[in-house]
Chain A
């Protein structure tokens, strides 16, 4: 690649060499998780090794230090990984554009030191991951959130190096070299990722000569060729590559709920949407809301449908819950409100682009699944095939799926016409029989209330995730053990799980940790 177009001072993505902004958490070009890359001033990347994980490190460290499996994945974060970093940097990432899966590669993040079962875990340390970055894994990924994005640069590259060095005492120099030199080091393998890693081949620098050599500071630069400016339509003025859109990857974290949504690897836009919020019941106790919607691709403007539905349902719940409406009733009304919001879209004209013309202008449509944790109750509500899973904190206890899909396969199974394996093997399995949208036959909001008797995690997700973890057991296996404490990280891990599996659809997951008070009573299902 043309180095002349690159300002050497700029940090670049280790996966694809694209220049980064200080606040970036994921590479805009390839989705590579940057959280751990020392991106220079303004970030506080490897802090995580020492800071939040510091507790873990302190916890795991002593236990690990003497154990024979020091080279095993989980130790990677502390020592083994540091030792392997240089090797990881030389390893070419993979054939697919390095996705956001790196958190999944991070076994060491487990607070109790148990190795994760994610695909990345077996590959050992950072070796199987994209160059450089993932080895730092949990670094910022865990702690960098929206609200921390602009964190003033206490932890600069220097700090990062120091941390790395401190963490891996025996090999501090090498770790520091990686941590500190990542931008430079990343430029080296860049030639490879450009041709092999990035499907839309970055243009031949010879043909890019007309491009503005150095776009003015502050101007957006194309994520693919890095020499063109981005036009107002969101395409590169040099190579034409579509620029990442805001919705391609979204994350949000509140105190008691977190959600992550990703475009996936095979779709050109993210048609999923989510909304998370918290409010208070009239008695002052907290109520937490998560809504996840999946746009129906065969309809027009599915992305608008999912966004409208998630927003409307969330707002309806935020209005109803503080008034004292029973959460289950509030959920029912929220689904109706979401349905109306999606129906209203059908009256609006399609966007000027007209690129959905082949879709014959079906009314916009989407699924909806929501969960409310309030007053010791867990309320779920849904229409379509997005799901809620219950994963108890004590993994020895049974997990459960709390929703029944409005889908062809589910109906076949329910009617006793097929067993689950047969039904889900059918081409029609995923055809949904219920959705929000003006062309829905009849809106049938499903709601259910549960009273869990033990702490656990509520997983609210689209089929982009559960396609890769269909049963409750599979889902529980994919959820990191510390999900209760670090829901955003866990959501990232789950999205990574789906991307590792192929990322064939948009992936969205919201996680609500459920805590039980001292008087935690037995569970009671007040199903509708």
Chain B
């Protein structure tokens, strides 16, 4: 991961793709904002000079691993063993100096290592102790994920770390607490740490796991076969170790009279951020994006501007990446910014053309939506509705070159003609395939160049 040829200071760049030209009377402005961060994961654990504690490298990172130890983890018994192995692999991946803890989750949360409400500092010795402690894990009890998250928050809260991250593994439904309890736990944890969530096997609820990941700005995935857990955990942990900057927010400033229709992350996956706005001064609001390593993400911003005459031009929105002052007292740092404009023209060729990026991601967002609607319809027995929605999904996935999603779809439907979206529902669908499709429905591909 490390690339020593690059600058030590993370660089954010913002590019705006849009057709700024509106016809007379046009009011809706769409733009795709591509944010690219480079420079993450390059310091090999050495704190960046003068960068302050917000840059979480080495000692700046803290991770809590939450392992489901409910009774169901013993069916089959390999599941518990695989979970232990995967957690051990994740511990191995921890960079020296990273703060970490392991939590066993049942209907209550229990500290497995190091215990005493503390975090351990990763080195060869502590890693070995942690792996020893894992051997003591056994399955038994219920599932109350909210309690796990609250314990993780208590452990991570006092940690002097820029990157605060959780990894949550579950194999079952959140049966031993009310949904409101989980929601409340997520609300209290949101913005305090990020969390990846994994469902192992097929007895868990997709919406619960994806909900946790989206609330805590992490990734969600299915590990249908427990033997794949170790690889997945290693990858996930490498990704966390590559994070360089935490708590980055997308700030959207809009002029008076401009209303925001939506703000969505559209790559690498679709996540609607519209409702997650926190006000940040006059006409500006921050949308959380979590922590960043070497990566690039795309956002779709849609605003409605006041009507204006031909030849007028206005700034429809100013998009910037904001890093809050670590002490919370100073002014936030603007990492980079881009402008979304609106220009009214009577040149029809200019105003009617749709920006390729906007068109592409509009399609990708629809793809995620029709997959979810199609699977929902299928579950509720509306097979005509499911066929129509999943047919549309096949059409969109094939047209946009989203191979992964197309392959997942082909396990749920028989494709007659991808171009027209003609499909038949498969009579028999493996539960794992359906859950995989649902979990990964929000994955998008970028515009073909």
- Bound: A128/B137 CA distance, A: 90
Return the chain B residue nearest A209 by Cβ.
Answer: B282
Give 1 or 0 for each of A193-215: 1 = CB within 8 Å of chain B CB: 00000011101100110110000
**B residues 313-349 touching A (CB-CB < 8 Å):** 313-316, 339, 341, 343-347
- Whether the Cβ atoms of A354 and B16 lie closer than 8 Å is yes
A494 at the interface (CB under 8 A from B): no
Decide yes or no whether B15 CB sits under 8 A from chain A: yes
Instruction: Indicate if A242 sits at the interface (CB-CB under 8 A).
Output: yes
Query: Is A242 a contact partner of B256 (Cβ separation < 8 A)?
Result: no
Q: Please determine whether A225 and B256 come into contact, CB atoms closer than 8 angstroms.
A: yes
Decide yes or no whether B257 CB sits under 8 A from chain A.
yes
* Minimal Cβ-Cβ distance residue in A for B337: A233
Mask: chain A, 292-326; 1 = CB below 8 Å from B; 0 = not: 00000100000000000000000000000000000
Is the Cβ of A355 less than 8 Å from the Cβ of B20? yes
Determine the residue in chain A with the shortest Cβ distance to B339: A233
Q: Would you call A268 and B344 a contact (CB within 8 A)?
A: yes
B355–A358 CB distance below 8 A: yes
A210-B257 Cα distance, complex, nearest whole Å:
13
B258 at the interface (CB under 8 A from A): yes
A408 to B405, CA, bound (A): 51
Which residue of chain B has the shortest Cβ distance to A355 in the bound complex? Answer: B20
How many angstroms from the CA of A452 to the CA of B341 in the assembled complex? 50
Q: Are A264 and B257 in contact (CB under 8 A)?
A: no
B292 → chain A closest CB, angstroms? 22
B255 within 8 A of A: yes
Which residues of B from 257 to 273 have beta carbons under 8 Å from A?
Answer: 257-258
A424 within 8 A of B: no
Known: A199-B308, A240-B314, A240-B316. A297 touches B256 (CB 8 A): no
B310 interface residue, CB < 8 Å from A? yes
Interface contact B309-A238, CB-CB below 8 Å: no
Provided the pairs A266-B346, A268-B311, A357-B17 are in contact, do residues A239 and B341 lie with their beta carbons within 8 angstroms? no
Say yes or no for B395: interface residue by CB 8 A criterion.
Answer: no
A47 at the interface (CB under 8 A from B): no
Interface hub of B341, B346, B355 (most chain A Cβ within 10 A): B341
Q: Which of A258-280 contact B (CB under 8 A)?
A: 263-269
Of A236, A265, A266, A267, the residue contacting B255 (CB under 8 A) is A236
Q: Is A241 engaged at the interface, CB distance under 8 Å to the other chain?
A: yes
Cβ of A450 within 8 Å of any chain B Cβ, yes or no, is no
The CA-CA distance from A129 to B31 in the complex, in Å, is 41
> For chain A, what secondary structure do more than half of its interface residues adopt (helix, strand, loop), or is it mixed?
loop
Contact B282 A207 (CB under 8 A): no
State the CA gap A210–B254 with chains docked (Å): 13
| B228–chain A nearest beta-carbon distance, Å | 42
Find residues 329-385 in chain B having any chain A CB closer than 8 Å to their own CB.
Answer: 339, 341, 343-347, 350, 353, 355
CB distance from A209 to the nearest CB of B (A): 9
Q: How many residues of A contact B (CB 8 A)?
A: 35
8 Å CB contact of B256 from A239, A265, A355, A357: A239
Q: Are B314 and A241 in contact (CB under 8 A)?
A: yes
Q: How far, in whole Å, are A238 and B255 apart by their CA atoms in the complex?
A: 5
Q: Which of A223-244 contact B (CB under 8 A)?
A: 225, 228, 233, 235-236, 238-242
Q: Are B311 and A203 in contact (CB under 8 A)?
A: no
Residues from chain B with Cβ under 8 Å of A216 in the complex = none
Is there a chain B Cβ closer than 8 Å to A9's Cβ? no
* Interface assignment of B312: CB less than 8 Å from any CB of chain A: yes
How far is it, in angstroms, between the C-alpha of A421 and the C-alpha of B353 when the chains are bound?
33
Q: Are B17 and A354 in contact (CB under 8 A)?
A: yes
Residue of B nearest to A359 (CB): B350
CB <8 Å contact, B19 and A358: yes
Chain A residues with Cβ below 8 Å from B312 are 199-200, 241-242, 268
B309 touches A208 (CB 8 A): no
Does B6 belong to the interface (CB within 8 Å)?
Answer: no
Q: How far is the CB of A135 from chain B (nearest CB, A)?
A: 26
Instruction: Check: B296 CB closer than 8 A to any chain A CB.
Output: no
Scoring A200, A208, A236, A359 by chain B CB atoms within 10 A of each residue's CB, the highest score goes to A200
B82 on the A face (CB < 8 A):
no
Task: Give the complex CA separation of A184 and B309 in angstroms.
Answer: 28
Considering the complex, give the chain B residue whose CB is closest to the CB of A206: B256
Chain B residues, Cβ within 8 Å of A207:
256-257
A233 pairs with B315, CB closer than 8 A: yes
Is B235 close to A, CB under 8 A? no
- Tell whether, in the assembled complex, residue A210 and residue B283 are in contact, meaning their CB atoms are under 8 Å apart: yes
A353 within 8 A of B: yes
Q: Which of B17, B311, B341, B355 contacts A266 (CB 8 A)?
A: B311
- Contact between chains at A355 and B341 (CB < 8 Å): yes
Q: Is B307 an interface position by the 8 A CB rule?
A: yes
- Distance in angstroms between the alpha carbons of A145 and B193 in the assembled complex: 63
Q: A241, B353: Cβ atoms under 8 Å?
A: no
CA distance A207 to B257 in the complex (A): 8
A247 shortest CB reach to chain B, Å:
13
When distances are taken between beta carbons in the complex, the residues of chain A under 8 Å from B15 are 354
B71 at the interface (CB under 8 A from A): no
Tell me if A358 and B254 are in contact (CB < 8 A): no
With A200-B306, A201-B257 known to touch, is A239 a contact of B346 (CB < 8 Å)? Answer: no
Within the complex, the shortest CB–CB distance from B308 to chain A, in Å, comes to: 4
A297 and B347 contact, CB distance less than 8 A: yes
B21 contacts A by Cβ under 8 Å: yes
* Pick from B257, B309, B343: contact of A199, CB under 8 Å: B309
Q: How far is the CB of B193 from chain A (nearest CB, A)?
A: 33
Taken together as a complex, chains A and B put the C-alpha atoms of A176 and B16 apart, in Å, by 54
Among residues 1 to 60 in chain B, which have CB atoms less than 8 Å away from a CB atom of chain A? Answer: 15-21
Contact status A200-B255, CB under 8 Å: no
Residue numbers in B under 8 Å from A297 (CB-CB): 347
| Contact present for A235 and B314 (CB under 8 Å) | yes
Q: In whole angstroms, how far apart are the Cα atoms of A269 and B17 in the complex? A: 20
CA distance A302 to B4 in the complex (A): 42
Q: Are B307 and A201 in contact (CB under 8 A)?
A: yes
Q: Is A358 a contact partner of B21 (Cβ separation < 8 A)?
A: yes
Known: A235-B255, A240-B315. 8 other contacts (CB 8 A): A210-B283, A233-B315, A233-B339, A263-B311, A266-B310, A355-B18, A359-B350, A504-B346
8 tightest A-B CB contacts, nearest first? A240-B255, A199-B309, A210-B282, A235-B315, A242-B313, A200-B308, A203-B256, A240-B315
Identify 16 residue pairs between A and B in the complex whose beta-carbon atoms are under 8 Å apart, listed by A's number: A97-B309, A201-B307, A211-B282, A233-B315, A239-B257, A239-B314, A240-B255, A242-B314, A265-B311, A268-B313, A268-B344, A297-B347, A353-B339, A353-B341, A354-B16, A358-B350
**Chain A residues in contact with chain B, CB under 8 A?**
97, 199-201, 203-204, 207-208, 210-211, 225, 228, 233, 235-236, 238-242, 263-269, 297, 353-355, 357-359, 504
- Chain B interfacial positions (CB closer than 8 Å to A): 15-21, 254-258, 282-283, 305-316, 339, 341, 343-347, 350, 353, 355
